[in-house]
Amino acid sequence: MSAPQFQHPHTSSLRLRGRVVTPTQVLPDAIVEINNGTVTAVTPADGLPLPEATGDTNGTTTPEPTALTILPGLVDIHNHGGGGSSFADALTAEDVSHAAGEHLRHGTTTIMASLVTADRPTLLARAELLAAAVDAGIIAGIHAEGPFLSPQRCGAQNPADLTAADPGFVTELLQAARGHLRTMTLAPEVAGVTCCGGVAVALAEGGVIPSLGHTNATFGECEAMIARTAPLLAEHGLRMTATHLFNGMPPIHHRNPGPVMACLAAAARGEMVVELIADGVHLDPSMMRTVMELVSAENMALVTDAMAATGMADGAYRLGPADVVVTHGVARLATTDGSLGALAGGTAHLLDTVRTCVNAGVPLIDAVNAASATPAGALGWTDRGGIAPGKRADILVTNRALKPVQVYRAGILQ
């Protein structure tokens, strides 16, 4: 496994100045101090002495004002690839590193590699490869999207590989992932998922997050899964997630509220974090603002669901066993009859989703927290996800239009 570019010795110290977004406030002009890969101070610029007051003629004590915005490194917990490479199709360490690097360059300093439904040998082989990438620091964990999903709501998942819940396969997958499987998307109504002794409970007891998604379940079936697993996860400092809320689920009906309403209610209670693909394609931008107002940024995570075409031109791609065509930046399953195929992942970087939310009226601090602090907290990553003393110095520097300028991972410029 080749070492990723961010694995270098820490710089001893670094100071960045600009508009700083912390987990609790936006400081219009502040300085972030970094020492040995860790944030050690966040100070309003007007509270620091001028260089001449300290005899520092080089001006390093107080950097010059800038028009930059300083965000925490972003955390994407649902990502299938980018830069022409797919985690679900990776065969080498270089494939994994290339896909992760596409997102790292755009400010995603923590990435969960997502698999799609495939046959058993393929999933086990990919889990082994991705586990090595976690050990090397390239990715932060593994997300298995399937294969225990609803055939009626499978989206771009291959229906031929969907199965009833199989505890034996889950055990094999956990062994192949060597402790790095962090979350698994499950449909509550699939046989063997939610029942006593079901895989949802078994995963939660082991500290692996069952993520509710790709489901045609009733409101009651979803509530039952949440009630059985959320308390178990809380014992591990984790929270349930909903895999890309709205997508892969039936629409809300006032006499059949279904999964969406069950997940929103759980998020409002603080029992669940709901994922939203805020790329302007999977959801109308006003939906992101509305969900944020209903459940708050502490219970909503922005994700990309990105696939290999992220950062690439339109054309033909693969997503696991599926052929995908990307047209005008929108990825859909390829069809032979000229019909419009199902959406097949996203092509945005996580910073793009932050910008989409802000443009839709979401406050900057809420959009940033939904792409950093909230997903990190749901997965139990307490060392990252915000600019605050003691946190790992994962920093994204942007211009005022929220376009990337610099990315630091553990204090190292990428």
Q: What is the SS3 assignment for 224?
A: helix
Domain boundary assignment for the chain: 13-71+389-413, 74-378
> How far is the C-alpha of 56 from the C-alpha of 51, rounded, in Å?
5
> How far is the C-alpha of 138 from the C-alpha of 145, rounded, in Å?
20
The pTM (predicted TM-score) of the whole model is 0.93
- Asked whether the beta carbons of 304 and 346 are under 8 A apart, the reply is yes
> How far is the C-alpha of 314 from the C-alpha of 311, rounded, in Å?
10
Question: The domain 13-71+389-413 belongs to what CATH superfamily?
Answer: Urease, subunit C, domain 1 (2.30.40.10)
> How far is the C-alpha of 393 from the C-alpha of 408, rounded, in Å?
7
> How far is the C-alpha of 60 from the C-alpha of 51, rounded, in Å?
7
Outline where 24-75 has alpha helix (H).
Answer: 51-54
**pLDDT score for 9:** 45
Ranges of the chain with pLDDT below 50: 1-9, 52-59
**pLDDT score for 13:** 87
CB contact set of 379 (below 8 Å; sequence gap of 6+):
75, 77, 112, 140, 141, 182, 183, 209, 238
Beta bridge partner(s), residue 120: none
Per-residue burial over 11-23, b = 16 or more CB atoms within 10 Å of its CB, e = otherwise: beebbbbbbbbbb
**pLDDT score for 85:** 97
Question: The domain 74-378 belongs to what CATH superfamily?
Answer: Metal-dependent hydrolases (3.20.20.140)
> How far is the C-alpha of 159 from the C-alpha of 212, rounded, in Å?
18
> How far is the C-alpha of 355 from the C-alpha of 22, rounded, in Å?
17
> How far is the C-alpha of 15 from the C-alpha of 397, rounded, in Å?
12
**pLDDT score for 195:** 85
- Asked whether the beta carbons of 298 and 371 are under 8 A apart, the reply is no
Q: What is the SS3 assignment for 260?
A: helix
- Asked whether the beta carbons of 304 and 283 are under 8 A apart, the reply is no
